[in-house]
Structure 1
Amino acid sequence: MSELISDQFFSILIAGLLVGIVVGLTGMGGGALMTPALIFLGVGHTTAIVTADLTAAAIYKSGGAITHWRQGSPNVRLAAYLIAGSVPMAFLGPWLINGLIDDPTDLENTLKMCIGFALLFAASTYALRLFINMRNVNSGTGEPDANPHIRLVPTVLVGMLGGLLVGVTSVGSGSVIMVALLMLYPGLPAVKLVGTDLMQAVPLVLAAALSNIAIHGLEWDLLIPLVIGSVPGTILGSRLAPRVAQSIIRRGIVIVLTMSGTALLFKAGFHPYGEDKDTLEAITVAVIGLVMLFLVPLVWGALRKQNGLPAFGAPTVAELERTPPRRKV
């Protein structure tokens, strides 16, 4: 037992707890937050962190999927087509990267580079998701349709892209696939959207986890504190959600993802200012965060006004996530 409680046990547990709370508050996938948090903590190799994060996600996403299944919210046919594309690619992705790169240092840097780009992609798709919801709510497009006609080829392709992304980086099951579903099926009610995404995410992250375990093994001293922290954190966050200002948290997530993605690109060897410019790179990340802190609300307010809504106020970000589109008269 003492071998499982490492010097970093409580650091990982606290990171899992904090990320779990944010996941519970917002419903956002944990991989986009947990993986970079553990990398910056320096608790292990990137391959071990990705594997542990995927395994933990398979555990806590299963509980959410079962809850939505009992409530009848998933669109089973839609989830099945997503799974048909995502599971094979999630299993293949780690083997593909491992087969192309032999050197452990090159593998570390490549994974960090991939995760960095995945985080920037996740930040942009998350912002796009809010924009699509705003357009649908305000224009009346996307009439509620719990059982839309399934667009087979695009849906399977979305699953394949999401599976490859998750298998390699552990990022994307809750952000990228969710946005793609919004664009393909704008009338799918929010509860169906979340339920379908959770249902397909369980076999997706499980396949990715098994593939990474087969290649890299599983470090229990990473997984155990991660699960111990993230599971109660998710439950706590879910209970706190109605009492917390969602707009501020969700805006903060976009900023954190962008800063984390940029920092990981620097850690992976992307040096636009030349070698040994760590201070300048750190300043760049901080400036990006500060600029976004002031710029994001202004841009969001301008987009709202262009769509006939007040720059600030109702409908809030949280209301945009759950309010059905208004019908045109």
Structure 2
Amino acid sequence: MDFWPLVLAGALVGFSVGLTGMGGGALMTPIMVLVFGVNPSSAVGSDLAASVAMKPVGALVHHRARTVRWDLVKWLVPTAVPAGFAGAFLLPLFGDGHVLQARLKLAVGGALLLAVAGMFARVLLARRRGEAAAEDARARVRPVPTLLIGLVGGLIVGMTSVGSGSLIIVMLMLAHPKLRANELVGTDLVQALPLVAAAAAGHLIVGDAKLGLAGTVLIGAIPGIYLGAKLSTRAPAGILRWALAVLLLASGLKLWEVPNNTTALACAALIVLGGISAAVRRLRHRPAVAAVAADTAQPRV
């Protein structure tokens, strides 16, 4: 397998993670499968092994900024960690040999499409939270829903490597609508550390994780994350998230072996939707800007 193309792929994925906080497993696993021809189980295991080294970067930033709800983490970890570890051992339920690889490919594709839906849900929920001004630094944790989120999210991550930074955060927003946005992101990144480590350990035991492959990806991913994080405050995050959504949609449909014409139409529709959404957001923003400008122009008595 080519060394430098893998390094470049790792750099691009790391850059996306540093810039948007999303796209680790959702990008690296399909790239390994679709571009480099890695079998799906090895791609999942290797991506999880690489994520163990990638996740602490963002988690440390949020820990220093004190945007981690440790009371929420403690209710996620008890179910997420064992579920993530068990994911590798549940894969034989899909079959074995070529049957397993084919079904796992479909499962990863399904997880990617769920991640795209989760990105839309996250945007809609964030807008509702903004309109309702519902954020509360003292929002209480709901233990039972949080334990269930850890269980479901852990299983998905353990079996497909997708979801630790996309699906779980959406479920957290649904269960805890008053949590502050930065606390949701920080908490999700921190809980992902033991979850991804447990899932990677399960795949190492099963023999799916290829450490050489993971190490090659990390050569590019680590500097990519650093550069992405440096640029994250200047780049238009909304445009980047829409671009990521289009890429995930295309990858998911290709893993499902959807015809190229249909995939292209679906991606084009998503791009048009993104353009409409951006235009509507600008139109809503203009009256507020005009009102502020008019207020500041008034003479002071």
TM-score (norm 2): 0.89
User: What CA distance in whole angstroms lies between the structure 1 residues aligned with 2:8 and 2:251?
Assistant: 18
Q: 1:131 aligns with which of 90, 103, 124?
A: 124
SS in structure 1 at match of 2:187 = helix
User: What CA distance in whole angstroms lies between the structure 2 residues aligned with 1:186 and 1:106?
Assistant: 41
Q: 1:120 aligns with which of 97, 110, 113?
A: 113
Matched, 1:159 2:150: yes
Q: 1:55 offset after TM fit, Å?
A: 0.9
Matched, 1:288 2:266: yes
CA contact (8 A) 2:94 2:104 kept: no
User: What CA distance in whole angstroms lies between the structure 2 residues aligned with 1:236 and 1:210?
Assistant: 28
User: What CA distance in whole angstroms lies between the structure 1 residues aligned with 2:95 and 2:128?
Assistant: 47
The structure with the largest helix share of the pair is 2
Amino acid across the alignment from 2:25: G
Listed one character per residue, the Cα deviations across residues 85-144 of structure 1 (whole Å, up to 9, x for unaligned) are: 21111111221122x24421011111111111101100011111011111111232x2x3
User: What CA distance in whole angstroms lies between the structure 1 residues aligned with 2:184 and 2:287?
Assistant: 23
Matched, 1:236 2:227: yes
Q: CA RMSD in A?
A: 2.0
User: What CA distance in whole angstroms lies between the structure 1 residues aligned with 2:204 and 2:138?
Assistant: 37
Matched, 1:209 2:209: no
Q: 1:29 offset after TM fit, Å?
A: 4.1
Q: 2:41 aligns with which of 30, 43, 47?
A: 47
User: What CA distance in whole angstroms lies between the structure 2 residues aligned with 1:138 and 1:118?
Assistant: 30
Listed one character per residue, the Cα deviations across residues 226-274 of structure 1 (whole Å, up to 9, x for unaligned) are: 11111110110111122322222111111111111111111xxxx7xxx
Matched, 1:192 2:183: yes
Amino acid across the alignment from 2:225: T
CA contact (8 A) 2:157 2:164 kept: yes
Q: 1:221 aligns with which of 212, 229, 237?
A: 212
Corresponding residue number in structure 1 for 2:68: 74
User: What CA distance in whole angstroms lies between the structure 1 residues aligned with 2:153 and 2:41?
Assistant: 19
Alignment of 1:50-61 (within 5 A): 50-61=44-55
Corresponding residue number in structure 2 for 1:247: 238
User: What CA distance in whole angstroms lies between the structure 2 residues aligned with 1:158 and 1:313?
Assistant: 39
CA contact (8 A) 2:112 2:248 kept: yes
Q: 1:37 aligns with which of 31, 35, 58?
A: 31
SS in structure 2 at match of 1:95 = helix
Amino acid across the alignment from 1:310: L
SS in structure 1 at match of 2:283 = coil
User: What CA distance in whole angstroms lies between the structure 1 residues aligned with 2:192 and 2:200?
Assistant: 12
Q: Judging changes above 3 Å, is the alpha-carbon distance between structure 1 residues 87 and 188 closer, same or farther for their aligned structure 2 residues?
A: same
SS in structure 1 at match of 2:164 = coil
TM-score (norm 1): 0.82
SS in structure 2 at match of 1:146 = coil
User: What CA distance in whole angstroms lies between the structure 2 residues aligned with 1:93 and 1:38?
Assistant: 20
CA contact (8 A) 1:83 1:203 kept: yes
Q: Judging changes above 3 Å, is the alpha-carbon distance between structure 1 residues 65 and 165 closer, same or farther for their aligned structure 2 residues?
A: same
Q: How many residues are treated as equivalent by the alignment?
A: 288
The percentage of aligned residue pairs carrying the same residue is 37
Q: 1:180 offset after TM fit, Å?
A: 1.3
SS in structure 2 at match of 1:148 = coil
User: What CA distance in whole angstroms lies between the structure 1 residues aligned with 2:15 and 2:238?
Assistant: 16
Matched, 1:310 2:283: yes
CA contact (8 A) 1:301 1:312 kept: no
User: What CA distance in whole angstroms lies between the structure 2 residues aligned with 1:248 and 1:67?
Assistant: 23
CA contact (8 A) 1:13 1:230 kept: yes
Q: Note the residue ranges of structure 2 that are not aligned, 5 or more in a row.
A: 289-301
SS in structure 2 at match of 1:188 = coil
Corresponding residue number in structure 1 for 2:295: none
Amino acid across the alignment from 1:201: A
User: What CA distance in whole angstroms lies between the structure 2 residues aligned with 1:29 and 1:282?
Assistant: 23
